[in-house]
Amino acid sequence: MDPRVDAYLDEVKHWKNELHRLREVVLQSALDEGFKWRTPCYMADGRNIAMIGGFKAHCVIAFFKGALLKDPHGLLVQQGPNTESSRSFQFTSLEQIDRHAGDILDFIRQAIEVEREGIKIDFTTVEETPVPEEFERRFAENTALKAAFDALTPGRRKAYYLHVAGAKQAATREARIDQAVPRIMNGKGLHDCVCGLSKRMPTCDGSHRVLKKS
């Protein structure tokens, strides 16, 4: 048991009892407990298997490669249309967690086997990702932007495409591109650090918030 998880559960505002119970169930497995991304994380042989956390509507155990797990009863949920790998098991009561404790442990067993067998997710490539019309128009109007975008890694380009395409309104898609242009021109991805304070470079870990407080 990781003392950082104890501290997290002491301070959590939503689903405190349920998260304590989820932790108890997970610790019945062979997983090692850790604390990553400010969240309880569970690993096997150093590889990430699952995380637990609370949201306003529910608490979850999320499996990093949940898309590869056998789920005949449809218990696992895809967090969003663009989520290709992880799947979450959502709970709203202690009774529900207790009723599905066996299912949780079975998913954990499967996830450990997936890692030990080296099975990987067949992710959609950036070439297979539809390009939002708004991006195509901007590229045609601004060749420097197109060159800077093409210089990004495939994963960063794909993240921008999905971020913009995720907006339902054309005005919102345009606004997201406006916000992204300075990052793109600076060679940064959607989730990259731009303040230089992150402890997880190049990824942003939220350290920029100290700048707003000062």
Q: What is the pLDDT of residue 158?
A: 87
**Residue 159 covered by a domain:** yes
Same-domain check for residues 45 and 76: yes
Q: Show the domain range for 109.
A: 3-116
Q: What is the pLDDT of residue 136?
A: 93
> 116, 143, 164: which is the final residue of a domain?
116
**Residue 148 covered by a domain:** yes
Same-domain check for residues 100 and 135: no
Q: What is the pLDDT of residue 155?
A: 86
Same-domain check for residues 25 and 84: yes
Number of domains in the chain: 2
**Residue 60 covered by a domain:** yes
Same-domain check for residues 131 and 81: no
CATH number of the domain to which 69 belongs: 3.90.1150
Same-domain check for residues 18 and 95: yes
Same-domain check for residues 7 and 96: yes
Instruction: Return d(Cα 76, Cα 72) in angstroms, integer.
Output: 10
Nearest alpha carbon to residue 38 among 27, 22, 51: 51
Same-domain check for residues 23 and 106: yes
Phi, psi of 88, deg, nearest 5 = -120, 150
> 116, 139, 157: which is the final residue of a domain?
116
Cis peptide before 202 (omega within 30 of 0): yes
**Residue 190 covered by a domain:** no
Same-domain check for residues 42 and 99: yes
Same-domain check for residues 93 and 175: no
In the block, tokens 């959502």 appear at 90
Instruction: Return d(Cα 37, Cα 48) in angstroms, integer.
Output: 12
One digit per residue, the tens of pLDDT, for the chain of length 214 reads 889 999 999 999 889 999 999 999 999 998 999 999 889 999 999 999 999 999 999 999 999 999 999 999 999 998 766 677 889 999 999 999 999 999 999 999 999 999 999 988 776 777 878 889 999 999 999 999 999 999 999 889 988 988 898 888 999 999 999 999 999 999 999 888 888 888 878 887 777 776 655 5
Q: What is the pLDDT of residue 80?
A: 67
Tokens, residue 166: 């995720």
**Residue 121 covered by a domain:** no
Same-domain check for residues 62 and 156: no
Same-domain check for residues 76 and 95: yes
pTM above 0.85, yes or no: no
**Residue 65 covered by a domain:** yes
